[in-house]
Amino acid sequence: MAGLYRPRVGEFRGYTAILVASALFGASATVGTLLLQTLGLHPLVGLVLAHGIASLVFLPFASRARPRRPDALLFGVWGLNGAAVAPLLWFYGISLTTATEAALLANLEALFTVTFAYLFLKERVPRRGYVGIAALLLGAVAVTTNLDFVTFGFTAHLLGNSMLILSSCLFGIDNNVSRVLIGRYDRRGIPFYKLWIGLAVLIPISLVIRAPYTVSPSILGLAVFLGIGSVAGVMWFFYIAFQEIGAMRTGALISTSALFGVAIAFAVFGNAPSAAQLGGGLLMVAGTFLTSEWTPRLRRNRTATG
């Protein structure tokens, strides 16, 4: 039918994949809070366990994606940033804030992913995308401060939220490096090398500081869920989306993880976001969609098929 846009099968696959990744990523805030705050697991130990377990998912494919010498430095930076520094900040940050605030602040990863895709991968946003970027920043302020500039009660979680914001920035860089590497290698195999580059840094640090590797059955169960679901699962579906719909739209749509994350946190802890935080979170979601290429791309396709 003339004028009717029919998405490719790959696009359906990409959008489905990013929604699954968003749900898994949204759940990670609650699982991480249970592990670190309720069960008292050391953040560094939690990260080592999660990444070690996640790497097993990619092990069967690792031989198909051995890094080539020209990409050695890029792999090193990718692993150090995306599998050591950024997740370490996330694990420590989530231990110092609430699951709801962590889930809402996850939207900032979308902002940084879109920004770096614009700067380095030369992907573009529509003009309204700049309005979206402003909305994301305003939403982040609302979530982080709860708009409390009288009693400054938000300072109780300021350090943890600041760590989560910096982590989101580093994950934005990581997402764009991932987009480059999955264009050169089997996306199912390279995460193994990324995770173990990070573990090669994290394990010695954990031993030097004598982080307690005391693991109960309940801790192990949640660590397995976090490793397979929120680390390996997010990577698996995230990289599918990268290949099908690009870094910018994938990065933008990951903002839906906030909706999943807040719902899961409320179901588990009963901690509903404040009106300011909920409004900030919704503003960040709206801002992220404004930065995406969804609508302009549909218009171009409709024009082409009209």
Could you tell me the pTM of the whole model? 0.80
DSSP string, 30-79: HHHHIIIIIS---HHHHHHHHHHHHHHHHGGGGGGGPPPGGGHHHHHHHH
Of the pLDDT bands very low, low, confident and very high (cuts 50, 70, 90), residue 302 is very low
The mean pLDDT value for 116-130 works out to: 73
Give me the phi and psi of 55, to 5 degrees please. -60, -25
Taking only the tens place, the pLDDT of each residue in 223-234 is 999 999 999 999
pLDDT for 3 equals: 46
Kindly list the distances between the CA atom of residue 249 and the CA atoms of 112, 133, 215, 267, 290, in Å, as whole numbers in the listed order.
Answer: 12, 14, 39, 29, 10
Among 80, 34, 47, which residue's Cα sits nearest to residue 222?
Answer: 34
Is residue 1 predicted with pLDDT exceeding 60? no
Q: What percent of the chain has pLDDT over 90?
A: 44
Taking only the tens place, the pLDDT of each residue in 40-89 is 999 999 999 999 999 999 999 999 999 999 999 999 999 999 999 999 99
Is residue 160 predicted with pLDDT exceeding 70? yes
CA angle 200, 198, 94 (to 5 degrees): 125
pLDDT for 296 equals: 39
Taking only the tens place, the pLDDT of each residue in 191-247 is 999 999 999 999 999 999 999 998 899 999 999 999 999 999 999 999 998 888 777
CB 104 within 8 A of CB 26: no
pLDDT for 223 equals: 95
